[in-house]
Chain A
Amino acid sequence: DTGVSQNPRHKITKRGQNVTFRCDPISEHNRLYWYRQTLGQGPEFLTYFQNEAQLEKSRLLSDRFSAERPKGSFSTLEIQRTEQGDSAMYLCASSFGTGNWGEQFFGPGTRLTVL
């Protein structure tokens, strides 16, 4: 399967714990995005990488959230000291482009439940 993959698919954690999600983009895609989707809402942009550089972060991304893409390939999203409000689907997308609006391909998401 050459699509975007995300692991784990589901994560249940207790409030206050740290969690880390992984995203493997489509091979050779230079852009990688993280979005968060809550029930009944559209995805909300969190952050975006071009190669290994993190180019933009949303105000939604508090200091408890950190994302990395160390070698310009896979990316990790870590949430420290999780809160119940962090419960959501975390979606990763990738695209190839040097200008604007490369088509974004989404992974299946990681569903986080914070108890």
Chain B
Amino acid sequence: QQQVKQSPQSLIVQKGGISIINCAYENTAFDYFPWYQQFPGKGPALLIAIRPDVSEKKEGRFTISFNKSAKQFSLHIMDSQPGDSATYFCAASGGTDKLIFGTGTRLQVFP
């Protein structure tokens, strides 16, 4: 019940395309859903986060869509750029704010 399931494991997108990464959770006590970006050899960096009282949040080229009834949320990267090539992690927390991370999606954006 503590798991966060993330897909796909890897994603290849052409420059300018849309990258979509999906996550699903089971624990209805989760109330905070961040997405992190991680480059090789670096720690994760927060990209964007959402709470379940809204269905969508947009920051620049990054959008989170949240479906509370389905217990799913997704990250959309519009106009994907080679600099977006990284590993993306969804996460969830509730109650104590320790983060439960998904297994990651390795995104490669080709020019």
Contacts and interface: CB of A to CB of B under 8 A. Distances in A.
B91 A100 contact: no
Interface stretch (B57-65, B70-78, B92-100): B92-100
Contacts of B32: 100-101
Given A42-B91, A106-B45, A100 B101 contact: no
A97 B42 CA distance: 24
B43 A108 contact: yes
Contacts of B43: 4, 91, 93, 106-109
Contacts of A106: 36, 43-45
A4 to B, nearest CB: 7
A62 interface: no
A104 B46 contact: yes
B104 A42 contact: yes
B19 to A, nearest CB: 18
Contacts of B34: 103-104
Interface in A34-86: 35, 40-45, 48, 55-56
A107 B41 CA distance: 11
Mostly, the B contact residues are loop
B17 to A, nearest CB: 24
B44 A33 contact: no
B101 A43 contact: yes
A43 B31 contact: no
Interface of A: 4, 31, 33, 35, 40-45, 48, 55-56, 91, 93, 95, 97, 100-109
5 contacts: A40-B104, A42-B103, A45-B98, A45-B99, A108-B41
Given A43-B99, A106-B45, 12 more contacts: A33-B98, A40-B103, A40-B104, A42-B91, A44-B101, A45-B100, A56-B98, A91-B43, A95-B97, A100-B31, A106-B44, A108-B43
